[in-house]
Structure 1
Amino acid sequence: MTTNDLARDIYDAAHLTGEFTLRSGVTATEYFDKYLFESDPKLIKRIAERLAEFVPSEGVDALAGLETGGIPIAVVLSQITGVPAYFIRKEAKTYGTCRLAEGGDIEGKRLFVVEDVVTSGGAVMDALGELRRRGATVEEGVCVIDRESGGLKNLADNGLAMKALFTMSELKTAGEA
């Protein structure tokens, strides 16, 4: 299967039209429902196989799957790469272990961020700040879709080199072909 086939299949599975309010507060007329491609076992495996090309072969202690959408991707990516997956909460639990990250201790670890969709980068920046405050080194990451709304630049400006498997434009072009 080609890159265009994967892009078209993501578009076909997850592209919705209507009126949607994004996390950033922006209203969009198009939306990629990540859960529609994340819940499809064949499609998420194909996505993770492609994302594996972005994971450094050395120097990464764990994949940091961000709640909620980045977690299923990180799990499948972990299966493909052999790199452990940690599950990063939006905020630390106030009960039990009171952890921000589940799956292992993050202090002193080199983490590779895994996210589904990036718009402004706000959710990733929130997680990035918390992970770094807790002693993790976080310099690289990957997302499935860049909505091309400045998120990757915002993240780069904050020391995170985030790469996207596809931009919104690439998915639209593949889906409309």
Structure 2
Amino acid sequence: MSHHDLARDIFDRSHLTGEFTLRSGVVAHEYFDKYLFESDPVLLRRIAEALAPLVPAHGVDALAGLETGGIPIAVMLSQVTGLPALFVRKEAKTYGTCRLAEGGEVAGQRLFIVEDVVTSGGAVLDAVGELRNRGAVVEQGVCVIDRESGGLKNLSDIGIDLKALFTMTELKAAGAR
């Protein structure tokens, strides 16, 4: 299957129209419901296989999947790459282990961010700040969809090279028939 075929299949599975308020507060009239493609095991596997070449062959200790949407992608990408996956919460638990990230240690680890959709990059910015405060080295990552709303630039400004599998423009073009 080609990159275009994968884009078309993601579009077909997850593109919705209506009125949607995004995390950033922006109101969008179309939306890619990431949970629709993340809950499809065949499509999720294809996405992970397409993301795998974007993960450096060296210099990464673990994948850091961001709650909630980045976690299933990180798990499948872990299966494809053989790298362990951590599950990064929006905020540290206040009970039990009181950890920000589950699945392993963060301090001193070279983590690779895995996210589903990036708009302004706010969730990734927050996670990277918290992970760095806990001693992690975070410089790179991937997302499935870049909504082309400044997120990749915002992340670049804090030293994060985040690559997107698809831009919103690419998905819309693939969905246009």
- Interval of TM-score (by shorter of Structure 1 and Structure 2): over 0.9
Aligned length: 177
- Measure the CA separation in 2 of the matches of 1:72 and 1:91: 18
Q: Quote the Cα distance in structure 1 between the aligned partners of 2:61 and 2:158.
A: 21
Q: Distance in 2 between matches of 1:110 and 1:142?
A: 14
1:172: how far off?
0.2
2:167 pairs with 1:167: yes
CA RMSD for the aligned pairs?
0.4
Q: Shift in Å at residue 115 of structure 1?
A: 0.1
Fraction of identical pairs, as percent: 77
Alignment of 1:26-105 (within 5 A): 26-105=26-105
Equivalence for 1:134: 134
**5 Å matches for 1:147-158?**
147-158=147-158
Give the letter aligned to residue 144 of structure 1: V
Alpha-carbon distance in structure 2 between the residues aligned to 1:148 and 1:55: 21
For 1:102 and 1:54, the matched residues in 2 are separated by 23
Instruction: Report deviation, 1:45.
Output: 0.1
AA matched with 2:54: F
What secondary structure sits across from 2:145 in the alignment?
strand
What is the CA–CA distance in structure 1 between the aligned matches of 2:118 and 2:54, rounded to whole Å?
A: 16
Matched residues in 2 for 1:59 and 1:153: separation?
A: 23
In structure 2, the partner of 1:119 is 119
Distance 1:123 1:2 in 2: 30
What amino acid sits opposite 1:122 in the alignment? G
Give the distance between the partners of 2:66 and 2:102, measured in 1 at CA: 11
For structure 2, the 5+ residue unaligned runs are none
> What's the CA shift for 1:164?
0.1
The alpha-carbon deviation at position 166 of structure 1 amounts to 0.1
Structure 1 SS opposite 2:140: strand
The 3-state SS of whatever aligns with 1:163 is strand
TM-score (norm 2): 1.00
The TM-score, its normalising length taken from structure 1, stands at 1.00
Provide structure 1 residue ranges, at least 5 long, that are not aligned to the other structure. none
